[in-house]
């Protein structure tokens, strides 16, 4: 494969979206968690909830900022590198992204300032409302962006005029067949990823100080979330798999590494391991369990699915990427499920905070959710190749009429900047997470300025006592 503009543009897109997606997913899950914490604090008045809230609010500020700026790139990259795609799908995808900006981005940006810096400027109720609106914004944003992505995977509600996609029915476009499954699966991924990060931070501090009340709260809440979200996520994933089998059969065949249709009665095996060989159309060193694939793919003992060699060779994705990414996602998902179950068991025995090997395991599993999410997106995006609009527009037709040199230079520049920005972000996040949570946890560092001069006095509820306890 030569490094032409198309390849470079694909690498650049994979690189920028891969870095980006972690941060909005983190924001979606963490915003929801912060809302729960603030709500619990307002309801019970227990200081520990406020402490945990303030602790994670500082982390949220970093995560959200990186998500915003890395997302800005995405909204222009369709034009710089994928202008033919933009020209042909703009009439459909443009309004969906426009709605995302109008209904979600402004909402988040408008109330993020209040959420981060407004604790002493507005009343408690109003502050909680701001938190809820930020949560709403992150979820609305996910709803629009997943509608767009799902339309590209399972397009409908369009007509083609001079090679361009024109809208026929917006309801059909938005509620396309894969949308509900993808949306549920993505929200599940965001919640589960954040649960494991929160759990890891709680476990890390419990290992040092078993009595840290805030660490106990975050650890306990995270383990409850794992118990609920991990099984739910597995169910959502299975449903999305069924949907993909119906609409994008070659993606499922690639996930399974299924090159040839199996003989009648043999069913689909579950390929645990193998080295897919795109040229020879076979897997080397395959380890498989017979019939298990049939069970989860066709919900029968010996059902089979369409195999890769039943499609023209130019219409199937590059199998090894899809195949391995799928195994990483499922493997991590099962591990997370196991951790949740183990946590439940230990909790029933009353030893969840004391079992050090378990705490260490949860620390190690901190990034598991994000890794699984990235692997999952790799499955769905690499798996729908060679198309950008499934079955209708090829990736090769989507690229801008720009030369390889420029794309290469910009890719290098992105790589350099992202390396600096994301290493710094990870460093700052780890540094924040390494500090044990403590009573009277301060908020984000840019504690709001006291008003003076022209318009003195804090806005909102002046009588509101400061939520920061007196030292």
Partner 1 sequence: MDLSHLDLPFIWAALLAFAVLAYVVLDGFDLGVGILFLVEREPEDRDVMVNSIAPVWDGNETWLVLGGGGLFAVFPLAYAVILPALYPLMIAMLLALILRGVAFEFRFRATGFGRRWWDLAFCGGSVTAAACQGMALGGLLQGIHVENNAYAGGWWDWLTGFTLLCGIAVVIGYALLGSSWLIWRTEGSLQRRCRRHARALVTATLALIVVVSLWTPMLNPRFMHRWFGWPGILFTSPVPLLVALTAWGFWRGLALKHHLTPLLCAEALFVLCYAGLGISFYPSIVPPSISIWQAAAPDASLAFLLVGAVIMIPIILAYTGYSYWIFRGKISAGMHYH
Pick out residues in 3-62 that bind partner 1 (CB under 8 A): 61-62
Asked if 305 and 252 touch (Cβ cutoff 8 Å), the reply is yes
Query: Which residues in 114-187 belong to E strands, given as ranges?
Result: 158-161, 164-167
Residue 120 in contact with partner 1, rule: CB under 8 A: no
What is the distance between the alpha carbons of residues 469 and 467, in angstroms, rounded to a whole number?
6
| Member of 3, 44, 110, 235 binding partner 1 (CB under 8 A) | 110
Site residues for partner 1, 446-465, by CB under 8 A, read 446-456, 459-460
Site residues for partner 1, 331-370, by CB under 8 A, read none
| Member of 154, 233, 248, 400 binding partner 1 (CB under 8 A) | 400
The region of 294-302, 306-314, 380-388, 411-419 touching partner 1 under the rule CB under 8 A is: 411-419
What is the distance between the alpha carbons of residues 322 and 241, in angstroms, rounded to a whole number?
13
| Member of 15, 117, 128, 318 binding partner 1 (CB under 8 A) | 117
Site string for partner 1, 215-254 (x = CB under 8 A): ----------------------------------------
Site string for partner 1, 121-160 (x = CB under 8 A): xx--------------------------------------
Q: Is the peptide bond before 287 cis (omega within 30 degrees of 0)?
A: no
Residue 166 in contact with partner 1, rule: CB under 8 A: yes
What is the distance between the alpha carbons of residues 108 and 111, in angstroms, rounded to a whole number?
6
Residue 402 in contact with partner 1, rule: CB under 8 A: yes
- From the list 324, 356, 358, the residue with the least C-alpha distance to 338 is 358
47: left (phi over 0), alpha (psi -120 to 50) or beta: alpha
DSSP 161: E
Shortest separation between residue 267's beta carbon and partner 1, angstroms: 46
Residue 426 in contact with partner 1, rule: CB under 8 A: no
Q: % helix / strand / coil in the chain, to the nearest 5?
A: 70, 5, 25
| Member of 51, 100, 256, 381 binding partner 1 (CB under 8 A) | 100
Asked if 26 and 193 touch (Cβ cutoff 8 Å), the reply is yes
Q: Which two tokens stand for residue 108?
A: 């988040």
Q: How far is CA 82 from CA 2, 15, 387, 401, in A?
A: 19, 15, 13, 9
State which residue, 123 or 338, has the beta carbon closest to partner 1.
123
The region of 64-72, 175-183, 214-222, 303-311 touching partner 1 under the rule CB under 8 A is: 64-72
- Give the total of residues touching partner 1 (CB under 8 A): 84
């Amino acid at each position: 494969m030569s490094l032409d503009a198309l390849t470079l543009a694909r690498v650049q897109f994979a690189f920028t979206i891969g870095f980006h997606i972690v941060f909005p997913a983190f924001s979606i899950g963490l915003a929801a968690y912060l809302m729960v914490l603030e709500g619990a604090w307002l309801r019970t008045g227990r200081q520990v909830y406020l402490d945990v809230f303030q602790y994670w609010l500082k982390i949220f500020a970093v995560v959200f900022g990186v998500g915003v700026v890395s997302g800005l790139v995405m909204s222009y990259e369709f034009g710089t590198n994928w202008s033919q795609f933009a020209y042909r799908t703009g009439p459909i995808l443009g309004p969906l992204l426009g709605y995302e900006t109008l209904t979600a981005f402004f909402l988040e940006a408008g109330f993020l300032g209040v959420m981060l810096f407004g604790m002493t400027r507005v009343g408690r109720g109003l502050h909680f409302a701001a938190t809820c609106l930020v949560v709403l914004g992150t979820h609305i944003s996910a709803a629009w962006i997943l509608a767009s992505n799902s339309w590209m995977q399972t397009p409908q509600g369009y007509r083609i005029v001079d090679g361009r996609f024109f809208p026929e029915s917006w309801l059909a476009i938005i509620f396309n067949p894969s949308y509900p499954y993808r949306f549920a699966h993505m929200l599940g991924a965001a919640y589960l990823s954040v649960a494991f990060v929160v759990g890891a931070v709680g476990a890390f501090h419990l290992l040092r100080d078993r009595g840290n009340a805030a660490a106990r709260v975050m650890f306990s809440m995270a383990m409850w979330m794992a118990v609920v979200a991990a099984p739910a996520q597995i169910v959502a994933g299975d449903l999305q798999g069924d949907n993909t089998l119906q609409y994008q059969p070659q993606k499922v065949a690639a996930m399974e590494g299924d090159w040839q249709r199996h003989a009648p009665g043999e069913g689909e095996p579950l390929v645990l391991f193998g080295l897919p060989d795109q040229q020879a159309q076979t897997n080397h060193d395959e380890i498989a369990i017979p019939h298990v694939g049939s069970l989860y793919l066709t919900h029968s003992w010996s059902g089979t699915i369409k195999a890769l060699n039943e499609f023209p060779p130019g219409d199937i994705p590059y199998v090894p990427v899809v195949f391995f990414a799928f195994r990483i996602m499922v493997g991590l998902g099962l591990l997370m499920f196991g951790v949740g179950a183990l946590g439940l068991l230990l909790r029933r025995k009353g030893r969840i905070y004391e079992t050090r090997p378990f705490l260490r395991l949860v620390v190690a599993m901190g990034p598991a959710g994000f890794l699984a999410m990235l692997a999952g997106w790799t499955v769905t995006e690499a798996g729908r190749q060679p198309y950008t609009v499934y079955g209708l527009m090829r990736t090769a037709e989507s690229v801008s009429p720009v030369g390889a040199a420029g794309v290469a230079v910009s890719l290098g520049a992105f790589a350099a900047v992202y390396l600096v920005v994301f290493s710094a972000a990870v460093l700052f996040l780890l540094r924040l997470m390494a500090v044990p949570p403590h009573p009277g946890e301060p908020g984000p560092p840019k504690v709001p300025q006291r008003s003076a001069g022209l318009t003195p006095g804090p806005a909102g509820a002046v009588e509101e006592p400061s939520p920061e306890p007196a030292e």
